[in-house]
């Protein structure tokens, strides 16, 4: 399967010398779901910030195999970040806008032709089962629908990597399994998924599980 990321003796300490992320060694494969889990406060969000290259580790190294992303070995950090989608629980949606309009917005910013935008939004709503809520404003949607919309909006820009921070913890078991089945399907189309979540990893669909030690 190969290697997408190689984490070697990687850790992170704050400026006041507080250990935020304990040492971790891991090999993350491409086109698969990798699940990092640990207790709250074990540095899960910090790990994702390192993987997105928003911050650097205090010790150790992060090796990114850019060739798996269609990038040159000399790609810049902004070029890399353009192919990375990020999902956090606090990602804002426009609460008074319809679900459909929230998904359409990032494509409008990119000035894509209307028909292409519409087809992408329709496809994403079908994939996540959002079509029944397309004309509902976000503030009236169920929580699970809102979280799926956050994920769909990140995926609508066709990232090569999707990093998910603590979203699954907010879903019940059925919604979590359904969502993971969707993500697993997308890995067969080239998507690499990295999940950071305090809850233990599931066994189906198969995921690569990594535990982060407690501080």
- Going by C-beta distance under 8 Å and a sequence separation of 6 or more, which residues neighbour residue 127? 152, 182
56 in a structural domain? yes
Q: Is residue 101 located within the same domain as residue 177?
A: no
Number of domains in the chain: 2
Q: How far apart are CA 29 and CA 198, in angstroms?
A: 21
- Give the pLDDT confidence of 152-176 residue by residue, as tens digits: 999 999 999 999 998 888 888 888 8
pLDDT of 1 strictly over 70: no
Q: What is the pTM of this model?
A: 0.92
Q: Please tell me whether residues 140 and 195 are part of one structural domain.
A: no
Mean pLDDT, rounded, for 124-139 = 97
Q: b/e per residue, 75-88, with b = 16+ CB within 10 A?
A: beeeebeebbbbbb
CA dihedral 151, 153, 156, 157 (to 10 degrees): -110
* Residue range(s) defining the domain that contains residue 134: 93-157
Residue 56: pLDDT above 80? yes
Which of 87, 89, 83 lies closest to 4 in space, CA to CA?
83
When the pLDDT of each residue in the chain is averaged and rounded to a whole number, the result is: 92
Instruction: Let me know whether 77 and 5 are in one domain.
Output: yes
How far apart CA 192 and CA 208 sit, in angstroms, is 11
- Taking only the tens place, the pLDDT of each residue in 79-93 is 999 999 999 877 789
Residue located via tokens 């990032």: 106
Q: Give the residue from 157, 180, 200 where a domain finishes.
A: 157
- Domain shared by 172 and 68, yes or no: yes
Confirm whether 61 is domain-assigned.
Answer: yes
Residue 62 sits in the same domain as residue 146: no
* 98 and 123, same domain (yes or no): yes
d(CA 37, CA 151): 19
Residues 79 and 7 in one domain: yes
Whether residue 168 sits in one domain with residue 150: no
Q: Is 211 left (phi over 0), alpha (psi -120 to 50) or beta?
A: beta
Alpha-carbon distances of 39 from 203, 205, 209, rounded to whole Å: 19, 22, 14
Residue 215 scores a pLDDT above 70 = no
- Identify whether residues 25 and 67 lie together within a single domain: yes
Q: Verify that 47 and 73 share a domain, yes or no.
A: yes
**CA 97 – CA 138 distance, rounded (Å):** 6
- Does residue 167 fall inside a structural domain? yes
Identify each DSSP E strand in the chain by its residue range: 5-13, 19-28, 33-37, 59-64, 84-87, 161-165, 192-196, 208-211
- Shared domain for 166 and 153, answered yes or no, is no
Cα end-to-end span (Å), the chain:
32
- Asked, for residue 88, whether it belongs to a domain, the answer is no
Same-domain pairing of 31 and 132 = no
CA geometry: angle at 91 spanning 85 and 147, to 5°? 85
């Amino acid at each position: 399967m190969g290697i997408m990321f190689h984490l070697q003796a990687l850790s992170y300490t704050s400026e006041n010398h507080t250990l935020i992320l304990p040492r971790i060694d891991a090999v993350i494969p491409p086109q698969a779901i990798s699940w990092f889990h640990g207790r709250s406060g074990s540095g899960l969000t910090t790990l994702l910030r390192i993987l997105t290259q928003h911050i650097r580790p205090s010790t150790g190294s992060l090796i990114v195999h850019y060739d798996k992303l269609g990038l040159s070995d000399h790609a810049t950090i902004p070029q890399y970040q353009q192919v990375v989608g990020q999902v956090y629980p606090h990602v804002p949606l426009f609460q008074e806008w319809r679900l459909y309009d929230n998904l359409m917005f990032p494509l409008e910013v990119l000035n894509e032709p209307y028909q292409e935008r519409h087809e992408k939004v329709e496809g994403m709503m079908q994939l996540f089962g959002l079509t029944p809520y397309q004309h509902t404003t976000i503030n009236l949607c169920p929580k699970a629908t809102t979280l799926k919309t956050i994920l769909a909006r990140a995926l609508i820009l066709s990232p090569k990597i999707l990093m998910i921070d603590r979203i699954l913890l907010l879903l019940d078991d059925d919604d979590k399994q359904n969502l993971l089945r969707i993500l697993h399907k997308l890995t067969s189309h080239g998507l690499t998924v990295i999940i950071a979540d305090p809850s233990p990893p599931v066994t189906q669909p198969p995921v690569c599980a990594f535990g982060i030690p407690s501080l």
